[in-house]
Amino acid sequence: MGVFGLSLLARGSLLAVRLGIEGVSPRWLGGSDVPGWLGMASHLYLNRDLSYWLMGARPPLFPLTVALVYALGGTTLHAAILQAVFGALTPVLGFLLARRLFLRLDLPSPERLALLAGCVMALDPASVSASVALLAEPLFNLLFTACLLALTIFIQERRWQALAASALWMALAMLTRPTAIYFWLVAPLILIPLVREWWRPVLVLAAVGLAVYLGWSWRNLRYHGVFTYSLQTNFSLLFLRALSAEHLATGASPDDLQVAYVRDLYLGIGDTGAAELAAPEHFWRFLVADSPALYRQMGRMAREKLLRYWPYALLSTGVGAWRMFGITNSLPGRFRPFELVYHLLLYGLVVWGAWQAFRRRDWGILLLTLIPILYVTGLTLLAQTSAMDTRMRTPITAPLVILAVYGLGRLLRRSEGRQQPGQQSDQPDRDQAVA
């Protein structure tokens, strides 16, 4: 309860501050993406179908929760409060995950370390900020952390109910943000080393993940003529990834490149009239392509640009990583020195913790934290480097903090001087895998 109270206090305070700013209403919590999400919610509430155009880019679960709030007589403000509650519950699940992992390891005061991890998650600046927004992250982060917790319970106790829960949370996360749509392909990297009959849980997760993937892709085929989970894929690759690479390579302004891209896309499908009227802001029209031909043209153009400017695409990945892991733009500038110091300590301990887990063969904590970290980071940076913020890394706040606190625990163990005389301090312990 302490972790939940601290977490809710931090998010409630920030929500009150943001709502108190003159000219800011609940509708605008989260920036320019909010109207799109609320448009989806209004459509679901009024029409009760999946035909809304923006669903071609974004899955429906978050706007469905907002629509449910409307149906129960609530307002957008109530939806924002619900978001803060989702955000406050996520560190609680992270604490439970940390406790399960730490209690099976040779750590000093594992209960206290787990509580420390929960408190850090509760106060993590990026997570607090992302929780107080009318965007999909609060719900997604809760579901993704629940998926990891249930998967950990299955690995430790072989309870098939836990595996079913993990598959359910994964499916719901997939229907909240496309970030989770390939996790069922990555989960075997966790299960194979830790579970003897690994193929059974792998099949369960694959069956559920594939069913959700095919089901929502069929929806996009029906309404947009393209069999893909999200039509935002080619949009992100072209206007967020390739455009960034060409900007670095040529020095051309983003506005000029956006106009050129829009013009080339329309010319590619033979629409000369639209090409002549191209303007920088028109690139948003391609978030959900008007036709399958246009969507395919976007993909071809993105691949051509990325191949042509591939060194700069690689270089821009570093810029994207800084935006993803560095500074939370939605927080006041005076807060940045603290956040930089916090991130320096956090990521330093993450690296140390990963190294120690590898050397000591603590495979359980290593795989259950590092695989999700690499998965979310890799998938995010593959798709985009611009339009980034630390909210993109909030799904993996729990794994990051757990691995960092594990590293801190290893440092504390060293400082205690509990090694026997003559024993090497860096000698690996016995196998502490959660399996």
Chain segment 396-423, per-residue pLDDT in tens: 999 999 999 999 999 998 887 655 454 4
Euclidean distance between CA atoms 97 and 395, whole angstroms: 14
pLDDT value, residue 23: 66
429: confidence class by pLDDT, cuts 50, 70, 90:
very low
pLDDT value, residue 32: 82
Exposed / middle / buried, residue 74 (Cβ in 10 Å: 0-12, 13-18, 19+): middle
Residue, of 417 and 309, whose pLDDT is higher = 309
CB neighbour burial string for 261-288, b if at least 16 within 10 angstroms, e if fewer: bbbebbebeeeeebbeebeeebbeebbb
Euclidean distance between CA atoms 243 and 234, whole angstroms: 12
User: With contact defined as beta carbons under 8 Å apart, do 419 and 425 qualify?
Assistant: yes
Euclidean distance between CA atoms 17 and 421, whole angstroms: 56
30: confidence class by pLDDT, cuts 50, 70, 90:
confident
Q: Among residues of the chain, what percentage have pLDDT more than 70?
A: 94
User: With contact defined as beta carbons under 8 Å apart, do 216 and 241 qualify?
Assistant: no
- The alpha-helical segments, DSSP class H, found in 175-326 are 183-186, 188-194, 199-224, 232-235, 243-250, 254-268, 272-276, 292-308, 310-325
pLDDT (mean) for 297-303: 94
Secondary structure tally for the chain: helices H, strands E = 20, 0
Euclidean distance between CA atoms 33 and 342, whole angstroms: 28
Question: 360 in helix, strand or coil?
Answer: coil
Domain boundaries, the chain: 2-228+326-411, 232-287+289-313
pLDDT in tens, 172-187: 999 999 999 999 999 9
22: confidence class by pLDDT, cuts 50, 70, 90:
low
Question: 58 in helix, strand or coil?
Answer: coil
DSSP type of residue 238: I
pLDDT in tens, 219-274: 999 999 999 999 999 999 999 999 999 999 999 999 999 999 999 999 888 888 88
Worst-scoring range by mean pLDDT, 22-31, 78-87, 139-148, 273-282? 22-31
pTM for the structure as a whole: 0.92
